[in-house]
Amino acid sequence: MLDLYLDGGYTGIRGLLALDHDKDSITEHEIAFELHFYDANNKLIGTALGTSKPSSSVQKQTISTGEIKYVSAGEVGDFSKYAKVDFEITDYK
Protein backbone atom coordinates (compact mmCIF):
# COMPACT_ATOMS: atom_id res chain seq x y z
CA MET A 1 0.00 0.00 0.00
CA LEU A 2 1.50 3.31 -1.11
CA ASP A 3 -1.26 5.80 -0.47
CA LEU A 4 -4.64 6.11 1.24
CA TYR A 5 -6.75 9.17 0.49
CA LEU A 6 -10.22 10.47 1.31
CA ASP A 7 -12.43 11.92 -1.41
CA GLY A 8 -15.67 13.06 0.18
CA GLY A 9 -17.16 9.93 1.73
CA TYR A 10 -14.91 7.60 -0.28
CA THR A 11 -11.58 6.00 0.70
CA GLY A 12 -9.15 5.33 -2.13
CA ILE A 13 -6.02 3.22 -1.90
CA ARG A 14 -3.08 2.99 -4.28
CA GLY A 15 -0.40 0.34 -4.14
CA LEU A 16 1.81 -2.16 -5.91
CA LEU A 17 0.89 -5.74 -6.77
CA ALA A 18 3.45 -8.34 -7.81
CA LEU A 19 3.41 -12.02 -8.71
CA ASP A 20 6.47 -14.13 -7.95
CA HIS A 21 8.06 -16.04 -10.80
CA ASP A 22 6.49 -19.47 -11.31
CA LYS A 23 9.43 -21.52 -12.51
CA ASP A 24 10.53 -20.03 -15.84
CA SER A 25 7.12 -19.50 -17.40
CA ILE A 26 5.55 -16.09 -17.83
CA THR A 27 1.77 -16.24 -17.66
CA GLU A 28 -0.92 -13.58 -17.59
CA HIS A 29 -3.42 -13.42 -14.71
CA GLU A 30 -6.40 -11.40 -13.58
CA ILE A 31 -6.58 -10.82 -9.83
CA ALA A 32 -9.36 -9.41 -7.66
CA PHE A 33 -8.61 -8.59 -4.04
CA GLU A 34 -9.99 -7.07 -0.86
CA LEU A 35 -8.25 -4.93 1.73
CA HIS A 36 -9.80 -5.32 5.20
CA PHE A 37 -9.18 -2.34 7.50
CA TYR A 38 -9.22 -2.77 11.30
CA ASP A 39 -9.05 -0.24 14.15
CA ALA A 40 -6.80 -0.48 17.22
CA ASN A 41 -9.36 -2.79 18.89
CA ASN A 42 -9.18 -5.18 15.91
CA LYS A 43 -12.73 -4.21 14.87
CA LEU A 44 -13.38 -4.22 11.11
CA ILE A 45 -13.98 -0.63 9.97
CA GLY A 46 -14.25 -1.30 6.25
CA THR A 47 -13.35 -3.35 3.20
CA ALA A 48 -12.04 -1.93 -0.07
CA LEU A 49 -12.27 -3.87 -3.33
CA GLY A 50 -9.52 -3.85 -5.95
CA THR A 51 -8.39 -5.56 -9.12
CA SER A 52 -5.33 -5.97 -11.32
CA LYS A 53 -7.37 -4.43 -14.15
CA PRO A 54 -6.65 -0.73 -14.70
CA SER A 55 -9.40 1.86 -14.93
CA SER A 56 -8.41 2.58 -18.54
CA SER A 57 -9.13 -0.03 -21.21
CA VAL A 58 -6.06 1.21 -23.12
CA GLN A 59 -3.76 -0.33 -20.50
CA LYS A 60 -3.02 -4.06 -20.21
CA GLN A 61 -5.85 -5.83 -18.35
CA THR A 62 -3.73 -8.58 -16.75
CA ILE A 63 -0.60 -8.96 -14.63
CA SER A 64 2.30 -11.22 -15.62
CA THR A 65 4.40 -13.38 -13.33
CA GLY A 66 7.46 -11.39 -12.35
CA GLU A 67 5.71 -8.07 -13.08
CA ILE A 68 5.09 -5.29 -10.55
CA LYS A 69 1.90 -3.39 -11.31
CA TYR A 70 0.38 -0.21 -9.92
CA VAL A 71 -3.18 -0.96 -8.70
CA SER A 72 -5.93 0.84 -6.85
CA ALA A 73 -8.84 -0.05 -4.61
CA GLY A 74 -11.58 1.85 -2.87
CA GLU A 75 -14.96 1.92 -1.22
CA VAL A 76 -17.45 4.28 0.38
CA GLY A 77 -16.47 5.07 3.98
CA ASP A 78 -13.56 6.51 5.96
CA PHE A 79 -10.86 3.92 6.68
CA SER A 80 -8.13 6.48 7.44
CA LYS A 81 -7.97 5.66 11.16
CA TYR A 82 -6.89 2.06 10.56
CA ALA A 83 -4.36 0.21 12.72
CA LYS A 84 -4.06 -2.95 10.61
CA VAL A 85 -4.82 -4.02 7.03
CA ASP A 86 -5.33 -7.58 5.76
CA PHE A 87 -4.94 -8.43 2.06
CA GLU A 88 -7.14 -11.20 0.62
CA ILE A 89 -7.15 -12.49 -2.96
CA THR A 90 -10.78 -13.17 -3.91
CA ASP A 91 -10.34 -14.20 -7.55
CA TYR A 92 -7.31 -15.49 -9.48
CA LYS A 93 -7.56 -16.47 -13.13
Inter-residue contact 37 to 45 (CB < 8 Å): yes
Higher pLDDT, 66 or 44: 44
pLDDT band with cut points at 50, 70 and 90 for residue 71: confident
Is the four-CA dihedral 3, 14, 70, 83 of positive or negative sign?
A: positive
Tell me if the pTM is above 0.85. Answer: no
Three-state SS at 58: coil
Q: In the predicted model, what is the mean pLDDT of residues 41-68? A: 74
Q: In the predicted model, what is the mean pLDDT of residues 55-77? A: 70
